[in-house]
Structure 1
Amino acid sequence: MKIKIILLVFASIWLGLLVRVFILSVESNHIYSKLSLKNTIRLEHIAPVRGEIVDIKNRAVAINKLGFKIQLAPHLTSRKSSHNLDEEIDKLCALLPSLDKKKIKKRYAKKESYYNHNFIDVVHFIAYEEIMPVYSTLNLRENVKIIPAPKRHYPYKNIAAHMIGYVSRANKKDIDGDALLELLGNTGKTGIEKYYNKYLQGTAGKRQIKVNANNEEIKQLMYESADEDKKLTLSLDMELQTYIAELFGDRVGAVIVMDVNGSVLSAGSFPNYDLNIFVSGMSHAMYNKLSSSLDHPFTNKLINGLYPPGSTIKPMLGLLYISTDLSSKWTVECKSSLPLGGRIFRCWKKQGHEHTDITKAIRESCDDYFYKGSLILGNQKMSMGLKRYGLSKKTGIDLPNEFIGVVPSKEWKREKYNRSWNIGETVNMSIGQGDFLVTPLQIAQQTALMATGKLPTPHIAKKIGDEVIKHELQDVLTKEELKNLPKIQNAMYHVCNRAKGTATNYLHSKVKIAGKTGTAQVIAIKQDIEKRKLERELSYYNRSHAWFTTYGPYKNPQYVVMAMIEHGGHGGHAAGSIISDIYNKLLELGYIKK
């Protein structure tokens, strides 16, 4: 019996061994075959060349500058290596004196690993002109690889910087969201470069090669080219853009020129910065200087600057007034002030505007008319109407991280501050003050709505490849509002062309335009102050923001031209000349026909 048990144990062990041998030799064959294949066949990805960006007249806005990157072989710090890392770096620096030995060693050490068998990037970019004299010498060194590596370049430097955006090194978060960035190294960080990054960067190619035990290439088995060089055409005109930047000078603010269908011909946020410094890298001192500036050069004021709209809101509110609870014939007696709730709400004109209808209220920017109208209409109807027009939401422009602003309401205040609404806030809202905040682009969009009765979606890209991008116009006005719109348009014409119009004396445009000025207070005026200081008497950062938004030609609206100057004071005085010169330039360039 014992012998039988012993034999059975031996039989079980041998059976187990036979089964294990079968699994290893037959069943697992395909697994080890794959592992073997990986040891002999290597797949390489080919980085695509980023597509170029051009303006409406095919001028290059973002291109790729020809250059190379330098790689060093792995394991040069190993004792078994016949070559020394310092020796290789010294040779590189001797041939290319602009290189930094410390940076090269640091980059090499970061990627050096026993398990890494790929060459290591030590120089991300070196210009074609610099490397060509020593190219053949470096190419003979077995531990050095020189690979074509284009670098993004912006020929216009700081012009339209916030619209175009820039490309720079991808961080871990970027790479986690897009594996291709591990290969490319760079990605769009702001502006059009970021919004259309997926399209511009293309897709990688593939190359399958057979290698020996020393990881040396024996044969190319497969090649698939990268999908690259994708072209993006913008609606921007860089000649006009450059002209406007010179006009604006050292002022702080924003300018936009947009056709009434939403196509942006020019857009500037000031001050701006040279895009190329982000591609090449900048010093800590330069970054600190720019980032700490009170004028915020890194902020795209067109979509991220939030400002009280001031009187630019009056045409929109006026249309709401005369299309809902008030008639177009409704008038007020402006006596320059409105006592309410223990406060006095003053009109900007100390003597008052006397008998005022909707046309006069917009032409001369009578605050009292809008104060009293708001008390009849109420906050809810005002906020709902303005939101329907497109405020307090994104315009939809093809730029990342657009802000929505604030149209204040009872519900908004309760949710944000857990406090109740008071009647004085309704009155403040009627002249674009208080918690009311908009972006300059929203005001430009609203001006297009007043010009045509259609709400456009602003856009900067005109064509992706050869395909024209189409955008629909939205119908947001009621039948009653459409019927009353000519009344508002006529009042906006008066602003720019009639006696006592708030912009009339500041214009020299060859195009007949309509518009609205605005002066948005930065600091509140105390109740006990009877005589206001003139804007020029205030310290710079206490002066009001100056708005002037227009469309033209008046009888056949084609373009919206809007300027907002931070701490500029009165809108017409601060921006009238700039607006006039822009319309004259549009004539000169043939965008507007006489």
Structure 2
Amino acid sequence: MKIKFILFIFIATWLALLVRVFMLSVESNTYYEKLSYDNTIKTEQIPPVRGEILDINNKPVAINELGFKVQLAPHLTLKKNQHIFDEEINNLLKLLPNLDKEKMIKNYKKADSYYNHNFIDIVDFVSYEEIMPVYSILNLREKINIVSSPKRFYPYNEVAAHSIGYVARANKSDIKDDKLQELIGYTGKSGIEKYYNTYLQGEAGKREIKVNANNQEIEELSSEPAVENRKLKLNIDIELQKYISSLFVKKSGAVVVMGLDGAILSASSFPEYDLNTFVAGISHEEWDRLSNSLEKPFTNKLVHGLYPPGSVIKTGLGLIYITAPEIGPNWGVYCTASMPLGKRVFRCWKKDGHGNTGITKAIRESCDDYFYKGSIQLGIKKMSDGLIRYGLGRKTGVDLPNEFIGTVPSREWKRKKYNKAWYIGETVNTSIGQGDFLTTPMQMAQFTALMATAKLPKPHFAKMIGDEEVKPEFEEVLDEDELRKLPIIQKAMYEVCNYPSGTATNYLSSKVKIAGKTGTAQVVGILQDIEERELEHEMEYYTRSHAWFATYGPYEDPKYVVLVMVEHGGHGGAAAGKIVSNIYNKLLEMGYIKK
């Protein structure tokens, strides 16, 4: 029995050894072969060059400035190599005296370790003009590596800043979402640069090289070029954009010039800021100055600015009124300048009232009383449902990141947000674009296009993505009755700008016949016991109303929407009429509108 046991142990041991030999020699062959290959063959990724952004006339608005980054060999901070490190740093400073010594040392030490065998970036960017005179000298030094490294540059500085956006260093969150950004080091942070980042940054190339034990290249085995320099052409005309910027000096707000197919010819948020300050990194002082400004220059007011629309929504609401069985096109009111409701009095802006008022006069002269009483007839549900159908309270779909949706108040909205009951006074406030009603300038531009053409276009900046043309998209939102009665609203909008009592007529000097609607959106409420309203220009600046003017033209053959919103500008026509006139005259001068 003892002999059998010893024999069993002997056979089992040999079987285990045979299995282990088999595993090492046959089964693990692939694993060790790959390990050996990785030790001798090195794969390098080739960073792609970011695509340029062009305006409608092929003028570059975001380009790559030619330059280089400086790299230093690893392991030079070891005690035995410290003298080499000091020598290389001093040589760089002699040849390129503008370099920051402390920053170079800090960058090197942060990346240097026993496990890193790659050259280390110590200078991110040196311009072509600066490095060319010394390039051949630096290239002869074994421990220094000069690598092509273009930097984003915005030739027009602050013009169209919020639309174009900027690139800056990729952070951990960016790299987590897109590993390519770890290789490139930069990513789109805002505007079009961010929205089209994946397209613009391209795809990395790859090369396989054979290296020796010291990580030195012996030969190149294969190479796959990067997919790069993808161009993006916009509908924006940068010259028009520059002109509009000159009209908004020392003003805050937003301007949208949009074709009725949704193509954005110009879009600005004011005040603007220089995009180039963010590429290399903005100083703490400049950041604090901009971020603490009450004008909020960092906010893209086109899609992130939420404002009460005021009387601008009276065009769409008027269409809802005249197509509703409860009201209809022939319904009217007698405006006495005030409407008692419960314990409140809702006043019209005109001290003496408007007298007999129908839909055309209500829009032309912006009679609040007509819309107050109409809202009581109709109710908040039909009002809010119709306005949402017309594009408010939802995204326009514009190609900018993180677009806000705003608020069209309703019973359901209030219950969901505050868990409170709805009051009829809130319906009345909503009818003149006040209360909790909030919209973005981009939404109001789209809304105005609907009033002009009966179609809701999708706003878009991009004209050509590579060789692919961006096709216009429309949403059909009006029913047959609304389509039949829309000309009533369009005629009223024409009279706003051309009739003697129109709210915009006296403020216009446009050579183009236009239609539109002014709006004055209150920032602070007016107390019930105040009978004489304080004039806007007499109020403290930040308590003045926002001024809206939404237009389209030419009236006979509509081509463009021009929307202007001036923060704390007061009356819409007075604050924005001249700006709107100048923009239409410029469109005429530039040939966008034919005489």
Which interval holds the TM-score relative to the shorter structure? Answer: over 0.9
For 2:476, the equivalent position in structure 1 comes to 475
Correspondence for 1:127: 127
Residue 238 (structure 1) aligned with residue 238 (structure 2):
yes
- Measured in 2, the distance between the counterparts of 1:4 and 1:522 equals 100
For residues 44-95 of structure 1, give each alpha carbon's deviation from its aligned partner in whole angstroms, at most 9, with x where no partner exists: 1111110100000000100000000111111112245485323322222222
Name the counterpart of 1:459.
460
* Aligned position for 2:446: 445
Match of 2:506 in 1: 505
Secondary structure (helix, strand or coil) at the match of 1:305 reads coil
1:101: which partner in 2? 101
TM-score by length of 1: 0.99
1:197 partnered with 2:197: yes
1:219 aligns with: 219
Tell whether 2:503 aligns with 1:487. no
Q: CA separation in 1, counterparts of 2:342 and 2:237?
A: 52
CA distance in 2, matches of 1:356, 1:474: 33
- Counterpart AA for 1:459: H
1:474-513, Cα deviation, whole Å (9 max, x unpaired): 1100111111100000000000000110000000100000
1:380 Cα deviation (Å)? 0.4
Compute the displacement of 1:143 (Å). Answer: 1.1
Match of 1:266 in 2: 266
Partner of 1:353: 354
Q: 1:81 to 1:30 in 2, by over 3 A?
A: farther
Residues 14 and 467 of structure 1: CA distance in aligned 2, closer, same or farther (over 3 Å): same
Does residue 591 (structure 1) correspond to residue 585 (structure 2)? The answer is no
Aligned equivalents of 1:359 and 1:524: distance in 2? Answer: 28
Letter aligned with residue 496 of structure 1: C
Q: Contact 2:551 / 2:562 at 8 angstroms: preserved in 1?
A: yes
Inter-partner Cα distance in structure 1 for 2:417 and 2:11: 80
- Structure 1 residue aligned with 2:43: 43
Are 2:260 and 2:457, in contact at CA under 8 Å, matched by a contact in 1? yes
- Contact 2:69-2:124 at 8 Å conserved across structures: yes
- What is residue 581 of structure 2 aligned with on the other side? 580
Give the SS at the match of 1:220: strand
Seq. identity, %: 67
**Structure 2 match to 1:558:** 559
Cα deviation digits, residues 297-341 of structure 1 (max 9, x gap): 000101100000000010000000000121111110000000001
Range 105-114 or range 540-549, more displaced: 105-114
Q: Distance in 2 between matches of 1:552 and 1:119?
A: 60
CA distance in 1 between partners of 2:303 and 2:4 (Å): 89
Show the counterpart of 2:178. 178
Q: RMSD between aligned alpha carbons?
A: 1.1
Residue 304 of structure 1 corresponds to which residue in structure 2? 304
Q: 1:171 and 1:82 mapped to 2: Cα distance?
A: 31
Alpha-carbon contact 2:50-2:202 (below 8 Å) kept: yes
- Counterpart in the other structure of 2:542: 541
In the alignment, residue 112 of structure 2 is paired with which amino acid?
A: E
Letter in 1 for 2:572: G
Q: Is the 8 A contact 2:519 2:548 kept in 1?
A: yes
Is the partner of 1:301 in helix, strand or coil?
coil
Aligned position for 1:147: 147
What's the secondary structure of 2:176's corresponding residue?
A: helix
1:46-125 matches, within 5 Å, as: 46-79=46-79, 81=81, 84-125=84-125
* Structure 1 letter corresponding to 2:133: P
Q: Deviations over 1:361-408 (max 9, x none)?
A: 001000000000000000000000000111000000000011000000
Measured in 1, the distance between the counterparts of 2:456 and 2:82 equals 71
Distance in 2, Cα, partners of 1:251 & 1:272: 10
CA distance in 1: counterparts of 2:247 and 2:307, whole angstroms: 22
Partners of 2:95 and 2:396 lie apart in 1 by: 53
Give how far 1:22 is off. Answer: 2.3
Q: What amino acid does structure 2 have at the position aligned with 1:504? A: T
Which consecutive unaligned segments of at least 5 residues does structure 2 have? Answer: none
Alignment check: 8 A CA contact 2:263 2:472 kept:
no
Q: Shift of the alpha carbon at 1:39?
A: 0.4
Report the alpha carbon displacement of residue 3 of structure 1 after superposing the two structures with TM. Answer: 4.6
2:321 maps to amino acid: Y
Distance 1:575 1:372 in 2: 29
CA distance in 1: counterparts of 2:306 and 2:409, whole angstroms: 14
Whole-Å separation in 2 of the counterparts to 1:181 and 1:416: 39
CA contact (8 A) 2:77 2:109 kept: no
Q: Which amino acid aligns with 2:339?
A: L
Rounded to whole Å, the distance in 2 between the matches of 1:132 and 1:248 is 42
What does residue 429 of structure 1 align with? 430
Q: Which range moves more in the overlay, 323-332 or 77-86? A: 77-86
How far does residue 274 in structure 1 lie from its aligned partner after superposition? Answer: 0.5
Please give the alpha-carbon distance, in whole angstroms, between the structure 2 residues aligned to 1:11 and 1:397.
76
CA deviation string 1:82-110 (max 9, x = no partner):
85323322222222122112211221122
- Output the CA distance in 1 between the equivalents of 2:243 and 2:351: 39
1:580 CA displacement: 0.4
SS in 2 for 1:118: coil
Distance 1:349 1:394 in 2: 34
Conserved 8 A contact 2:251-2:270: yes
Greater Cα offset, 132-141 or 296-305: 132-141
Taking the aligned partners of 2:242 and 2:591, their CA distance within structure 1 comes to 17
Q: Distance in 2 between matches of 1:5 and 1:249?
A: 99
Counterpart code for 2:176? D
CA distance in 2, matches of 1:583, 1:265: 12
Please report how far the alpha carbon of residue 4 of structure 1 lies from its aligned counterpart in structure 2 after TM superposition. 4.7
Question: 5 Å matches for 1:286-305?
Answer: 286-305=286-305
> For 1:549-584, what per-residue CA distance to the aligned partner results, in whole angstroms no more than 9, with x for missing partners?
100000111100010000000000001011001001
**In 2, Cα distance between equivalents of 1:369 and 1:336:** 10
Shift of 1:29: 1.2
3-state DSSP of counterpart to 1:471? coil
Q: SS state of the match for residue 528, structure 2?
A: coil
Q: Secondary structure at the match of 1:142?
A: coil
TM-score for the superposition, normalised by structure 2 = 0.98
Counterparts of 1:3 and 1:436 in 2: how far apart (Å)?
Answer: 96
- Residue 160 of structure 1 corresponds to which residue in structure 2? 160
Greater alpha carbon shift after TM alignment, 2-11 vs 482-491: 2-11
The amino acid across from 2:32 in the alignment is Y
Provide the C-alpha distance between the structure 2 equivalents of 1:582 and 1:7, rounded to a whole number of angstroms.
102
92-101 or 549-558: which moved more? 92-101
Deviates more, 1:549-558 or 1:107-116: 107-116
Q: Within 1, Cα distance between the matches of 2:453 and 2:3? A: 105
Where does structure 1 lack aligned partners over 5 or more consecutive residues? none
Query: Is the counterpart of residue 409 in structure 1 residue 410 in structure 2?
Result: yes
Does residue 527 of structure 2 align to residue 526 of structure 1? yes
Aligned residues: 594
1:340 aligned residue: 341
Greater mean alpha carbon deviation, residues 56-65 or residues 89-98: 89-98
Cα deviation, residue 7, structure 1: 4.4
CA distance in 1, matches of 2:3, 2:451: 105
Q: In 1, Cα distance between the equivalents of 2:258 and 2:360?
A: 26
* Aligned-partner Cα distance in 1 for 2:280–2:529: 55
> In the aligned structure 1, how far is the partner of 2:302 from the partner of 2:342?
36
Closer, same or farther in 2 for the Cα pair 1:30/1:82, shift >3 Å? farther
